Amino acid sequence: MARVVFSTWRGESIDNRGKPESEWVESQYKLPEQYETDRNAKAFIGWDGFAIFDEEVDVVRLGTEYAATYQKYSEACGRCAPGRWGGRILYDLMDKIARGEGEMSDLEHLKEVSRTMMETSKCEIGRTVPKPLLDMMEHYEESFRELIEQKKPSKDYSVENIDYIAKVTAPCMDACPTHVDIPAYIEGVRDLRFDDSLKATRQTMPLAHTCGRVCPHPCEDECRRTNLDEPISIMELKRIGADYETDHGFEWLHPHEPAKEKIGKKVAIVGAGPAGLTAAYYLGLEGIDCDVYEELPVLGGEVAVGVPEYRMPIEKYNKDIELAKSVGTNFITNTRVDADMLRRFDKEYDATLLAFGTRLSKKVRAKNEREDMPGYWGAISFLDQVNLWEKYRIGSPVDLTGKTVVCVGGGFTSMDVVRCSVRANAEKVIMLYRRDEKTIIRNTTYEEYHEAVEEGVEFIFHSAVEEIIEDENGRLKKLKVNRFELVPDPDGGRPQLVKIEGADFEIECDYLIPAVSQAADLSLLPEEWELELTSWNTLKTNGRDYMTSRKGLFAAGDCEYGPMTIVNAVGQAKRAASVISRYVRTGEITLTDEEIMEDHLRKLRVYDKSEKVTGWLPGLPRQVSEKLSVEERRDNNREVNLGFTQEEAIAEAERCMRCYYIAMTAV
C-alpha cells in the first residue's frame, strides 16, 4: 500500500491529480514512498510503469533520467542492436525534448523505436525500459506537448538537488538472499565464457562451488520462466564457472582486484562457516584484516561438518574456503570464543562479527527425553562425527550395521541424517515427520526427498514421538508414536493437525536422532552487554545493517536469523561486510543506495507470477543432470549429482530470458 499522486504500476491506473487528498486512491503495491527515514521519495519508475508521490515532480526529466540510467547501467546490456542503439536514441530524444529542443516528430520516433525495442530486444531491460516512457507520453502528454510547442526546458531540467537513484534487478536476483547477478552468470555459460560467469557470481557470492550444489535455490521459485513453462535450473548452472576455475587451475578470479594495500583496520569474526567465510572474503578484498575464530578443528562450519560429502564434496568446498584465505584472512581453529575473549575483541578490533551459527540440537519434546540417554543422539553431534571422519579422518567412523535409526525432522538436516545413516550401513532408517509429503518437499527439495526414498529411507508422515521408552539398563529401546491427521478449518484457515485417538504405535529402535531444529548457543555473550535478542533467542539486528544492539558488534547467519539456508547466511554476511567496511573507516553505520534500493525492491517484489510472457518459445523442458544410480551411491560418499553435461548446461542457459529490469527512485 502506498500513497501516490499517480500510478501505472503493474497495470493499475491511479490518477489523484487535482483531487482533494481525502478522495485519493492508494496504490495496492508497496512502492517506496519513503526512501529512508526522513527522506521521502518523489517518484518511482520501473519496468512495469511509474508512480508519482509528489505532485511537483517533473515527469519529462524523470523519464529522461530513466532513459539515461539505461545507458549508464548498460553493463547489464549493450548486448543487442535494438537495446544498444534504441536505448541511446530513447535517451537522446527524451533529452532533446526535456531541454526544449524537441519536435512533435520526435514523439513519433520515440514510440516507433520503443515498439521495436519492446518486441525484439535481447533482455527484458531493453523490452521494458520503453514501457514507463510510453505511459508518460500517454498520461502526461500535455507536459511533453508544452515543452515542444514552447521550446522551453522542462522545469527540473537543470535542477541539481534531486537524486535519481537507480538499481538493476531481476526477479531471480531479488529472490536470492545474496542477490547474485544470476542472468550474468547464466549468460557466461551460454556464451561459453565461464570466467565471466564465475566473476559475476563472486560479486556477491563467494561460495560458488557450494551454492552451485547445495543451495535450496529460492531464486527458482521466482524465476519468470515459470510463467512460460518451468523455472531455469539456476542453482546448478552456478557450479560451472567454479568448476572451470578449479579444472584449469587458474589463479583466483576475483570480482575486482583485491586492494593492493591493507587499510590498517582489523575485524574479528566468530565462526568460519558460510557467513564467516563470506564476510572475511569481502572485507579482505577491501584490504581489511580479518581474524576468524573457529571452535572446530576444521574450517567451513555446518557445510563442512553438517552437509555430507555425497552432496558437497569437501574437495570442492575447500576451494571456496581457499578463496576466502586468498585475500589474506587469518583463521584460528580449535578456539572456542567466550565472553572474556569477546570483551577483548571489543577493545582490540575495529569491529566484531558474530557468525557462530546454531549448533544446539533442539529436543523433540517427548516424555522421558534425556540427552544423556544412550541411543539418544543429537543431529549436530551425529553429523559432526560422520563428517569429521569421512572428510578429514578425524575421530572415528559411525557404523550402524544392524541398527535401526529413527530420525525426527523434516528439514535438510534430517535428510542428511537419514541418508548418512544409510551410508553407515544401518539396517533400517525411519524418518518421522509431523506433516505430509508435500510439505517435506517444500521444506527441502524434490530431489533430496526422492533420493532418500530411493536409498531406502522409510518416511512415516503425520506422526510424532510421544514417549521414549528405555530398557532395564537405561538405554533407549523403543518409541511411542502418535498419529495425526489434517483437519480442514471450517473457517477456511490453515488445516489443523489433530491427533488420531487410538492410532498410536511403537517403533523398536537403537537410535533416536532428533533433527527438528537447532538453537544458538548464546553462552559466549558477555552478560553485561545486555544484547537484545529475538523471540527465537537469536541476536537481534534490524535485518538491514546487521549491527546488534551494541555498537561495532555485528551478527549474521543462523545466530542472527535462526537456522536457515547457506545462501541466507551468505547474503546477510555480504551485507554486514559492506556495512562493516564503512564502519571501520568512518564509525558510521550506513547503507549504500544500491542496498537501500535492494531492500525496497524486495518489499515491492520484482517477480510477478501472473505476468504473461511473450516472445519466447514455450515448452522447452528444464534440463535435469545425471545422478549416480542408487546402487552406485548407496554405500559410499561419491557425489550424487554429476552436474550438467556441457550440452545440457548450454541448453539450460539458452532458456534464460535475461529478465533484467531497471528501477529508479527520485528523491
Partner 1 sequence: MIKMTIDGCRIEARKGETILQAARRNGHYIPTMCYLSKVKPIASCRLCVVEVEGVDGFILSCQAPVIEGMEVKTNSPELFGHRQNIMKLYDVNHPLECGVCDKSGACDLQNKTLEFGVDNQEFSARDHKRDLRKWEFIGYDESLCILCEKCVHVCNEVIGDDAIEIHYGGYNSRIQPKGSEELECTNCGECIAVCPVGAMISTDFQYKANAWELQKVPATCAHCSGGCALDYERKHEGALDRSEPKIYRVTNEFEFTTLCGAGRFGYDFENRTAERDEEAFDRAIEAFKNARTIRFTSRITNEEAMILQRLKERYGYRLVNGDALNYKRFLESYASITGKTLFNGTLDSIAEADGVIVMGSRILTDNPAVRYHITMASKRQNARVAYMHPMEDREMQNVVTQFVKYEVGTEEGVLAMLARTMLEGKVDIKRVESFLDDLDEGYLSAESNVGEEELETLRRSFARCKKIALIIGEDCINHPRAVQIAKLAALFERFGNISVLPVAPKTNSLGVSLICDLDESTEGSVIGYNAPGDFVLSSYGDGDLDMPALNQQEGTFTTLDKRVVPTNAALPYGGYTLCEIAATLGVEARYTIDFTEELPEEKGFKKIRFDDIPYYFDNREGEVRGYEIKRMKHTVDSTIEEVEELPEFNGPILYRCDPVLQFGPQTARASQLKGEEAVLLGSQQFAMAARLKEGDRVKISLEGLEMERVFRIDPELKGTIALNPTFDLGLSEDLLSSLYRFSQSKIEVVGQPNE
* Window of 64-72, 350-358, 421-429, 476-484 that interacts with partner 1 by CB under 8 A: 64-72
Which residues, numbered 74-133, are part of the site for partner 1 (CB under 8 A)? Answer: 74-89, 92-93, 106, 109, 112-113, 115-116, 119-122
> Interhelix angle for 141-150 vs 81-98, to 10°?
60
**What cell does 51 get?**
508512480
Stretch that binds partner 1, among 10-18, 319-327, 361-369, 643-651 (CB under 8 A): 643-651
Query: What is the residue whose three cell numbers read 527439495?
Result: 445
- The interface region with partner 1, picked from 21-29, 174-182, 566-574, 617-625 by CB under 8 A, is 617-625
If binding means CB under 8 A, how many residues of this protein chain bind partner 1? 54
- If you ran DSSP here, which 8-state letter would residue 536 be given? T
Residue 250 near partner 1 by CB under 8 A: yes
CB of 161 to partner 1, least distance (A): 26
Site string for partner 1, 556-595 (x = CB under 8 A): ----------------------------------------
Pick one of 20, 248, 473, 494: the residue that binds partner 1 (CB under 8 A): 248
Residue type (1 letter), 269: I
> In the block, which residue shows the cell 526422492?
450
Cα gap 572→354, rounded to integer Å: 12
Q: What is the per-residue DSSP string for 154-207?
A: -TTTT--S--EEEEEE-HHHHHSTT---HHHHHHHHHTT-HHHHHHHHHTT-S-
Least Å distance, CB 108 to partner 1, is 9
Query: Taking contact as CB under 8 A, which single stretch among the options 299-307, 329-337, 547-555, 607-615 is the one that binds partner 1?
Result: 607-615
Q: Please, what is the minimum distance in Å from the beta carbon of residue 105 to partner 1?
A: 8
Percentage helix, strand, coil for the chain under 3-state DSSP, each rounded to 5: 40, 15, 45
Of the two residues 371 and 632, which places its CB atom closer to partner 1 in the complex?
A: 632
430 and 458 in contact (C-beta within 8 Å)? Answer: yes
Closest to partner 1 by CB, 395 vs 618, is 618
Closer residue to partner 1, CB minimum distance, 62 or 649: 649
Stretch that binds partner 1, among 147-155, 157-165, 288-296, 646-654 (CB under 8 A): 646-654
CB-nearer residue toward partner 1: 246 or 443: 246
For the bound state, the minimum distance from the C-beta of residue 472 to partner 1, rounded and expressed in Å, comes to 51
Q: Coil, strand or helix: which one is 408? A: strand
Q: Is 226 in the site for partner 1 (CB under 8 A)?
A: no
Residue 236 CB, shortest distance to partner 1, in Å, is 13
Sign of the C-alpha dihedral computed for residues 355, 361, 365 and 368 taken in this order: negative
Round to whole Å and give the CA distance between 305 and 314. 10
- Residue closer to partner 1 (CB basis): 536 or 616: 616
Crossing angle between the packed helical segments 104-120 and 130-139, to the nearest 10 degrees = 140
Other CB atoms closer than 10 Å to residue 615's CB: what's the count? 12
DSSP 549: S
Query: Between residues 496 and 629, which has the closer beta carbon with respect to partner 1?
Result: 629
The position carrying cell 521495436 is: 116
Q: Which of 324, 282, 283, 284 is CA-nearest to residue 300?
A: 324
620 part of the interface to partner 1, by CB under 8 A? yes
Nearer to partner 1, 21 or 251 (CB): 251
Residue 70 binds partner 1, judged by CB under 8 A: yes
Candidate ranges 49-57, 247-255, 499-507, 572-580; the one touching partner 1 (CB under 8 A): 247-255
What count of other Cβ atoms lies within 10 Å of the Cβ of residue 115?
A: 14
Nearer to partner 1, 75 or 399 (CB): 75
Alpha-carbon gap, residue 273 to 386, rounded angstroms: 18
If the CB atoms of residues 113 and 383 are measured against partner 1, the closer one turns out to be 113
**Euclidean distance between CA atoms 383 and 211, whole angstroms:** 20
In order of 344, 352, 542, the CA distances from 270 in angstroms are 13, 8, 20
Question: What interhelical angle do 81-98 and 130-139 show, nearest 10?
Answer: 30
137 binds partner 1 (CB under 8 A): no
Of the residues 334, 365, 616, 632, which one makes contact with partner 1 according to CB under 8 A: 616
* Cα 44 → chain centroid: 25
Residue (of 571, 524, 518, 520) closest to 544 by Cα position: 571
Shortest Å distance, C-beta 504 to partner 1: 49
Which one of 414-422, 448-456, 590-598, 638-646 is the stretch in contact with partner 1 (CB under 8 A)? 638-646
Residues 399-458 within binding reach of partner 1 (CB under 8 A): none
Distance, CA of 68 to chain centre:
30
Q: How far is the CB of 25 from partner 1 (least distance, A)?
A: 31
Angle made by CA atoms 567, 591, 285, in degrees to the nearest 5: 60
Site string for partner 1, 472-511 (x = CB under 8 A): ----------------------------------------
Residue closer to partner 1 (CB basis): 245 or 295: 245
What is the rounded distance in angstroms from the CA atom of residue 499 to the CA atom of residue 501? 6
Of the two residues 472 and 647, which places its CB atom closer to partner 1 in the complex? 647
> Is the distance from CB of 358 to CB of 519 less than 8 angstroms?
yes
Least gap, CB of 182 to partner 1 (angstroms): 17
CB of 605 to partner 1, least distance (A): 24
Rounded to a whole number of angstroms, the minimum distance from the CB of residue 617 to partner 1 is 4
Instruction: Give residues 182-201 in contact with partner 1 (rule: CB under 8 A).
Output: 190-193
Q: How far is the CB of 122 from partner 1 (least distance, A)?
A: 6
Cβ atoms 460, 360 nearer than 8 A:
no
In this complex, which beta carbon is closest to partner 1, that of residue 333 or of residue 645? 645
Q: Which of 357, 361, 413, 275 is nearest to 559 (CA)?
A: 357
CB nearer to partner 1: give 4 or 184: 184
Report residue 67 as a C-alpha cell.
Answer: 532513459
State the Cα–Cα distance between residues 225 and 172, nearest whole angstrom: 10
Question: Is residue 63 a contact residue for partner 1 (CB under 8 A)?
Answer: no
Distance of CA 564 to the CA centre of its chain: 11
CA distances from 410 to 170, 336, 435, 451, 463 (A): 31, 30, 8, 14, 11
**Span near partner 1 by CB under 8 A; candidates 296-304, 335-343, 349-357, 618-626:** 618-626
Here the cell at position 46 is 520501473
Pick one of 18, 249, 492, 493: the residue that binds partner 1 (CB under 8 A).
249
Judged by the rule CB under 8 A, the positions of this chain that interact with partner 1 are 70-72, 74-89, 92-93, 106, 109, 112-113, 115-116, 119-122, 190-193, 247-250, 612, 614-620, 642, 645-647, 649-650, 654
